[in-house]
């Protein structure tokens, strides 16, 4: 006799619902494990990248220091060049003014110009011509002005005029 109308089937240890949950948990664990490995990989990658960036930053800082040094050197050269240019302009103007100051009767043979002195070698027809036409303007410009005259064979006078501006260093002596 039979107690059932259907044939007995094997029963599994786990139900279908439990199997679905186990597959779901396994997939979630697999996804979380993969995500964890991805995080570990990215972390190590970012650390390596941070080390490279730090090395690059140090190299750039050294380059910046070198460039700052070069800029300082160039600025010092520029300041020196501007000072030389300004001195040349002043010297040019001073020479122009000096030659404009010399009258036609007086001939200059040699001019030595320093920062604080002017030595003029030349020829003049008379001492008075030199004293009135050139010595007076020189005395108004310089603190001390001394002139030595030498009579030439033609009756003219060679002269050496030494003119000085007293600076603070000279005044202390």
Find the CATH number of the domain harbouring 154. Answer: 3.30.1360
**Helix (H/G/I), strand (E/B), else coil: 149:** strand
* Number of independent structural domains in the chain: 2
* Dihedrals phi, psi of 66, to nearest 5 degrees: -65, -40
Tell whether 115 and 155 lie within a shared domain: yes
Residue in the block written with tokens 């002269």? 159
Tell whether 95 and 143 lie within a shared domain: no
| C-alpha span between 132 and 9 (Å, rounded) | 146
CA distances from 106 to 61, 92, 147 (A): 66, 21, 14
The residues facing 161 across adjacent strands are: 120, 147
Per-residue model confidence (pLDDT) at position 102: 83
Q: Is the dihedral of CA 15, 17, 23, 25 positive or negative?
A: negative
**Helix (H/G/I), strand (E/B), else coil: 154:** coil
pLDDT, one tens digit for every residue, the chain (173 residues): 667 778 777 888 888 899 999 999 999 999 999 999 999 999 999 999 999 999 999 999 999 999 999 999 999 999 999 999 998 888 788 778 878 888 888 889 998 888 788 899 999 999 998 888 888 888 888 889 999 999 999 989 999 999 998 876 555 55
Query: Does residue 3 belong to any structural domain of this protein?
Result: no
Residue numbers of the domain that contains 128: 104-172
**Tokens standing for residue 92:** 């040019």
Per-residue model confidence (pLDDT) at position 138: 85
Domain boundary residue among 84, 101, 118? Answer: 101
| C-alpha span between 171 and 173 (Å, rounded) | 5
Per-residue model confidence (pLDDT) at position 27: 98
């Amino acid at each position: 006799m039979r107690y059932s109308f259907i044939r007995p089937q094997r029963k599994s240890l786990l139900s279908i619902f439990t199997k679905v949950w186990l597959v779901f948990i396994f997939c979630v664990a697999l996804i979380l494990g993969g995500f964890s490995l991805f995080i570990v990989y990215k972390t190590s990658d970012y650390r390596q990248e941070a080390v490279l960036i730090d090395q690059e930053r140090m190299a750039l800082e050294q380059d910046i220091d070198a460039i700052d040094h070069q800029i300082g050197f160039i600025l010092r050269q520029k300041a020196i060049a501007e000072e030389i240019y300004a001195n040349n302009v002043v010297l040019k103007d001073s020479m122009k003014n000096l030659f404009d100051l010399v009258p036609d009767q007086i001939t200059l043979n040699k001019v030595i110009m320093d920062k604080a002195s002017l030595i003029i070698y030349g020829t003049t027809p008379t001492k008075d011509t030199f004293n009135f036409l050139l010595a007076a303007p020189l005395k108004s410009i310089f603190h001390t002005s001394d002139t030595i005259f030498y009579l030439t064979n033609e009756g003219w006078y060679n002269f050496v005029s030494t003119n000085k501006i007293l600076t603070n260093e000279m005044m202390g002596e």
